[in-house]
Each structure stands twice: as C-alpha cells, then as structure tokens.
Structure 1
Amino acid sequence: MNDISMQFADFWRIVMEVWNSGVLGYSVGDAIVALLIVLAFYVFRGVFRRVIIGAIERWTKRTKNTIDDQISHAIGGPLQLLFVALGVFFAFQYLGLRGEFDELGDNLVRSLIAFAIFWALFNAIEPLSVLLKRLETIITREMVAWLITGIKWGVIFLGAATILQIWGIQVGPILAGLGLFGVAVALGAQDLFRNLIGGLCILIEKRFKNGDWILVDGVVEGTVEHIGFRSTKVRRFDQAPVYVPNQKLSDAAVTNFTAMTYRRIYWKIGLEYRATLDQLKVIRDQIEEYLRTAGPFVQPPSASMFVRYDAFNASSIDLMLYTFTKTTVWGEWLEHKENLAYRVKEIVEGAGCSFAFPSQSIYIEKHPEGAPEPFVPPN
C-alpha cells in the first residue's frame, strides 16, 4: 500500500509540475486565464459593435451627407480589432512575460495596433476620395481613380513597412534588393511599362474616358468600360469585351465619336429626270424650310446646312442634303433621321415627283411608210 501511495504521490507531483510549467514555462491555469481574458475582450468587441458603433451608424444615417456613413462603416472593423489587441495586451500582462517572450508579446500587440490603424486609413480612403473627385475639373475621372488606387497601395506599403520595422526587420535593405530586382524585371517587362506610360498619356491628353464610343481602325470599335494600368477594356457593339494594350491606343489614331459636337446627316437624293424645273425648286425649298424650322437640326453658322442640286447622274438628278442634329446620341439621332426621311418623301410626292432608281431607256426607230426595206446581204 505504501508503494501505491508513493506512486500516486509521484504522479500527482508530475501533474502539478505540468500544470505549473506546462506552457512555455507558465502554468496551465495562468494560460487558461489569459485565454479567457482574450475571449472576454472578443465578446466585449461584439457588444461594442452593436451598442456603440450601432448608435454611431444610426446617427450618421439621419444626416444628409453620406460621407459620415462611409467613415463610420470604415472604422468599425479596425475599432473592433483594437479591442482584440487590448485583450491580448492584458492577457500578456497577466502572464507576466519575461525575456524573449515579453519582447514577442510586445511586438504582437504593437503589430495588431499598427494593422488596425492602417486598416482604418485604407478603409477611409474611399469615402474621403469624394474630396479628390473635385479634381475632375482639372484632370480626368480616370486619372483621379488612378490617384486613389496609388494612395491605397501607398497605405498598404507604409503599413507593411511599419509592421516589419516593429519586428526588427529593416526596410531599407529590402528596398535596395527590390531595386536591383526591379531593374532585372524592368528589362524583361518593357511592354508593361510602355503600356503603363501609354495609359498615362491617354488620361493626360483626355483622348477618351469611360463610356465613350471610340474607333481604332483595324483594332476595335465600341464603348470604353475601363482604362487599366496595362490595357483598356472596350465593349464591342456585339457585347464582346476587347482588351487593348494602352500602348496601341496611345500610338494609334483614335476616333472619339462621343466627343462630337453635333452629328451629321449626309444624303444624296435621286429624283427623276422628268421632274420639271418648278418641281425641283419646290422640293428643294420645302426641304430647306423643314430643316430650318424643325427643332432637332443645328442652324448656321453653328454648323453647315446645305440643300442643293449636286449632280446629273446616269439615272437621276441628285439633291445633296447636308445637315447636323443637335443630339449625338445614336438612338435620338436615328429618330430624327427617320422623321426627316418621312418628311422628304412627303415633300417629293406632294410636288408630283418621284424618286429615281437605276434604269435604261431603249429607243426604237420606226421607218416611214413606203420606204424600201433595208437590204440585208446574204451570208
């Protein structure tokens, strides 16, 4: 019995040794208490989210502007992370970390705080970008979008550098190594930099913007959807997307139909040769009167307007109609063009004339009565 009692005593001594120094030299009880502290702050984080941040969000929704709503939403997550960092800090304080563990714990808490701060800054860029959008009067909207993207990457870089510095990793040698690596990459990625510079040229010169209808001969025709760092996404009229390298768009001749001041209508209207001079004059005068009195058409001297007989064609007398509509929207332009076609047909038919179409006339000569028949020599 004494041997059994001594064995149980030895076993209990081992259990107590494990309990007192089983987790990196700290007792299991202290580790459990520290874990509970972290969990308590994690639960308190949820309460803080529902009560405090919820109240702030309800207050911001009652205001007229939306910036405060976006800012409150942006800082909600980082504030909750700060509560977790606070719980980790109190847990380490309770454990009383010593030596290397104290330094590791301190670095972890600092890293969590730095991550929360830069996370909040990153989230706040989007709502604060409204202030940058005022620059659209000076630079293009796409350039502002590039600037916002650059600021976001800058915040990410500063946050990563700060956290690395906390852990004693020097950023300078890394940047120097990346510089040498960048030179090697640049030699093999010249097309990437050419396209990047091409994109900057497109934005600076304001060749086109998102939503514009462009034509690049032999490349693409469609609507610009996105101007990226390397390529531009153009949606063709059959709804197929085309990704065109920026360098090609910056070097090629680009026709921007959206930038048209007005939209042109140019017709050649063929009338029959049997039309009289008075009919031709009436047709021309009435078409010109319609163009000058109808609202959709631009009047001189803002844009040219011509209704003139232009040529004697093989089968018709050609009337040239040259005018511009005030709208450049394709659907509206087609509607005005259709109404003009109705009016032209009405005028031509009202004048007792008809439209010409390709034809040939055959004249048969008739011999007078009593004239001898033509002699046809035998073969």
Structure 2
Amino acid sequence: MDQLFGFFQDVARQFSGWLENVDGEGLVVSGLILLLVILLRKTLSGFAVGALDFVATKIQITIGDAVKQAIEPALRALIISLALYGVLEALHLPAILDTTLDRLVVSVAVAAIFAAAFALVDASVAWIVQPKDKMHGLQLSWLLKVLKAATLIIALSAVLKVWDIDLGPVLTGMGVLGAGVALAAQDLFRNLIAGMASMGEKRFDIGDWVRVEGVVEGIVEKMELRSTLIRRFDQAAVHVPNAELANTTLINFTRRPHRRIRWSVQVVYSTTAEQLEKIRDDIGDYIETSGDFAPADKAARYIRSDKFSDSSIDILVNCFTNTIDYAEYLAAKERLLLNIKRIVEEAGSSFAFPTRTIVPEQAEPFPQSGEQHSRGNDLGIDPSK
C-alpha cells in the first residue's frame, strides 16, 4: 500500500513540475489538431479506403463493399490513435505518464490494425481459395476458424509486447497447466481429432443429406470443434459428437449421382400378351426419350413383365432420375406416373386391385325318411330298434 501511495505521489510531483513549464500555445494547438482529427475521422477513413480501392484496381483486385465496411471502423480508430500519439509527443509529458499513455495509444493502434485483419479474413480466404480448388465447405470453415484464431493470438502477443510483458514464463505456466487441462479435456480432444479426420476423409459437406445409423438423419449445417450440427427434416437441431460421427456408419445421400424409382405396375389378368408387350415397350420409350432419367449405360434400368401375383400381372419398372434434387425428383416421378397410367389405358388394359372370390360350398339336401331307413339298412342298422 505504501508503494502504491508513493507511486501516485511521484506521478503528482512530476505532473506539477510539467505544469510549471508547459507550453500553453503548443497545448492549444495540439488540442485543436486532435479535435479536428476526431471531427474529420469519417472523411479521413473514407479517403484512406478510396486510396486503397484505387491501388487495388490498378493491380486488378476488386474490393467489395463488405470489405470496405469492415475496415472503416478500424481505420477510424487507427487515425485517432496516430493523432493522439502525435499530441503526446508534442506535449512532453512526465516520463512515467508519457510512457504509460504512449503504450496505451500504441496498443489501441495495434488492436485497430489486427481488428481490420480479423475482419478481412473472410474476404481474403474467398479471394485466395478459388472455386476451381474444390475446397469443401467444412474445410473452408475450419480454415477460417484457424486463421481467425491465429490473428487473435498474434494480436494479443503484439499488445503484450508493447507493454514489455515476456511471454516465455506465461507459456511455461500454460504448459504446466495444460497437462492438467488435457486430462480433464480428453473428450474435447477426441472429438476434435475425430472432426479433423472426418473433414480429411471428406465424408460429408455442409448442406449434405446424411443418415447416421441409429442416431439421426438430416442436413449437415456446420461442424464445430466438438460436435456437428445436423438439422432433421422436422427442423429439430441435433448435435452429434464428432467421435460418435466418425465411428458410426454414415450414409451420404447427396453423393448419389441419381435417385431411383422402383415400381411394380399391376395390371388385370385379362391383359393379353400383346398388350403386356405394348405397355412394357411404351414405358421404356417414355423413359428413354423424356430426358428425366439417366441413360441405361450409366444407371441400371429394367422394364419387364415380372410375375403373376394373386390378383394381377406385375410389370417391374426400375430406373434412375438424372437429378438428386428432391423437388425435381418428385416432378419427374409424377410425370412418369401420369404417362404409365395413360399408356395402360391406351393399351386397352386397366390396373388391378386386390380381389378375392368367395365360392360358397353347395349344401347336401336333407334326406327323406325312406332314405334314412334305406341308408340305415345299408349300414346294417335295424331301424325298428
């Protein structure tokens, strides 16, 4: 407590000495310059952005509006920090106060620079990683996270360096502490490694329709360090731990090149062989020429009279659509259904439905009395007894 009191006494003594020798005219000029910079900060930052855009245009780089809006606040903070630094240099404050304020202003300037860098990570990655590189959404999102984390770490290191804080002992202490934290965070690290493995294997991407056997089926929205968010079709959000996701059978429906249609078209037994052949051929012709379905050499296609069922003759229709989009798949499926119905009707046949014919057993007429006696005698029975 005495040391802190002595520190403030020392600062007050130095400040009193500075007030006795201060240049009033210089103080007024410095204050006016600082006020002018604060009032014109938007204009100055806009001029800086314009200059940056001009240079980028000369080297054939396009700076979007989002980038400009992201760096303008950081530029304003940087401009004010530089103006403050100049004012402090002109004031010649006491050493202890001057050093502290200088470090504070420089820290703000460094933070402003790295804030702009942090805001530019998204635009920089989008510019560096071209669409032709075929980088998956998950890989891109993790690259953004790593770059942003690196930016924050470097910014923190730079600010600590301004204050002459040695990072060596801090890192050593973190290493000792990390051993204990690692034991308590085994689950986190296991999920982190599993997530990186899934990303490396490219098992799925953001927006893919997947089914994790026995867990969930839905659309992948994002992968975090510990879990992956899968949105079910009823819009419920399910967070699946990455370790469980990596060790469980996963079906990726989005990676299918086609969607299958497999129907059994049932026609009545009165359909003739010629009509069956016409129905089969007409369905095949429609599938071949409609443009909705994959060619037979790329996906299996079967249109055949298949079997005799209890109430119908079945025609197997097995084909694959060109699209995997669900809405387009349903539209192609509907067109096929309508055309099959039209084909069956034009062939002079009709669709069968389950039927069952019940034939009652013919009851034997009740015998007359004479017949009873006769039958009784035939069996060796005396009717008089």
TM-score > 0.5 by shorter chain: yes
Moved over 6 A (4+): 28-32, 60-64
Aligned positions of 1:140-179 closer than 5 A: 140-179=136-175
Partners of 1:212 and 1:257 within 8 A in 2: yes
Measured in 2, the distance between the counterparts of 1:44 and 1:339 equals 66
Measured in 2, the distance between the counterparts of 1:107 and 1:54 equals 27
1:316 aligns with 2:312: yes
1:275 aligns with 2:274: no
Q: In structure 1, which of residues 29, 45, 53 is the aligned counterpart of residue 48 of structure 2?
A: 53
Structure 1 partner of 2:223: 227
Measured in 1, the distance between the counterparts of 2:351 and 2:365 equals 42
1:343 aligns with 2:339: yes
Partners of 2:227 and 2:242 within 8 A in 1: yes
Structure 1 residues 295 and 99: alpha-carbon distance in aligned structure 2, compared to 1, 3 A threshold: closer
Shift of 1:174: 1.1
Q: In structure 2, which of residues 254, 259, 264 is the aligned counterpart of residue 263 of structure 1?
A: 259
Q: In structure 2, which of residues 354, 359, 369 is the aligned counterpart of residue 358 of structure 1?
A: 354
CA deviations 1:147-176 (Å, max 9, x no partner) are 122111111111111111221211121112
Partners of 1:53 and 1:72 within 8 A in 2: no
Q: In structure 2, which of residues 67, 72, 78 is the aligned counterpart of residue 82 of structure 1?
A: 78
Q: TM-score, normalised by structure 1?
A: 0.81
Structure 1 partner of 2:381: none
Structure 1 residues 47 and 278: alpha-carbon distance in aligned structure 2, compared to 1, 3 A threshold: closer
Partners of 2:41 and 2:76 within 8 A in 1: yes
Larger mean CA deviation between 54-63 and 110-119 belongs to: 54-63
Measured in 2, the distance between the counterparts of 1:283 and 1:218 equals 42
Shift of 1:264: 0.4
Measured in 2, the distance between the counterparts of 1:254 and 1:46 equals 53
CA deviations 1:268-291 (Å, max 9, x no partner) are 122222322222222222222222
Q: TM-score, normalised by structure 2?
A: 0.80
Structure 1 residues 62 and 121: alpha-carbon distance in aligned structure 2, compared to 1, 3 A threshold: closer
Structure 1 partner of 2:19: 27
Measured in 1, the distance between the counterparts of 2:311 and 2:324 equals 34
Measured in 2, the distance between the counterparts of 1:184 and 1:375 equals 102
Measured in 1, the distance between the counterparts of 2:118 and 2:17 equals 40
Q: In structure 1, which of residues 129, 132, 143 is the aligned counterpart of residue 125 of structure 2?
A: 129
1:213 aligns with 2:209: yes
Aligned positions of 1:368-379 closer than 5 A: 373=365, 375=367
Partners of 2:49 and 2:68 within 8 A in 1: no
SS of equivalent residue, structure 2 residue 130: helix
Shift of 1:326: 0.7
Q: Which one-letter code corresponds to 1:231 in the other structure?
A: S
Partners of 2:18 and 2:94 within 8 A in 1: no
Q: In structure 2, which of residues 232, 240, 248 is the aligned counterpart of residue 244 of structure 1?
A: 240
User: Unaligned regions of 5+ residues in structure 1, if any?
Assistant: 1-19
Q: Which one-letter code corresponds to 2:109 in the other structure?
A: I
Larger mean CA deviation between 333-342 and 228-237 belongs to: 228-237
Structure 1 residues 300 and 54: alpha-carbon distance in aligned structure 2, compared to 1, 3 A threshold: closer
CA deviations 1:22-56 (Å, max 9, x no partner) are 95654398797566654343234344235x23644
Q: Which one-letter code corresponds to 1:288 in the other structure?
A: G
Paired residues, number: 353
Shift of 1:65: 5.8
Percent of paired sites with the same residue: 37
1:91 aligns with 2:87: yes
SS of equivalent residue, structure 1 residue 67: coil
Structure 2 partner of 1:8: none
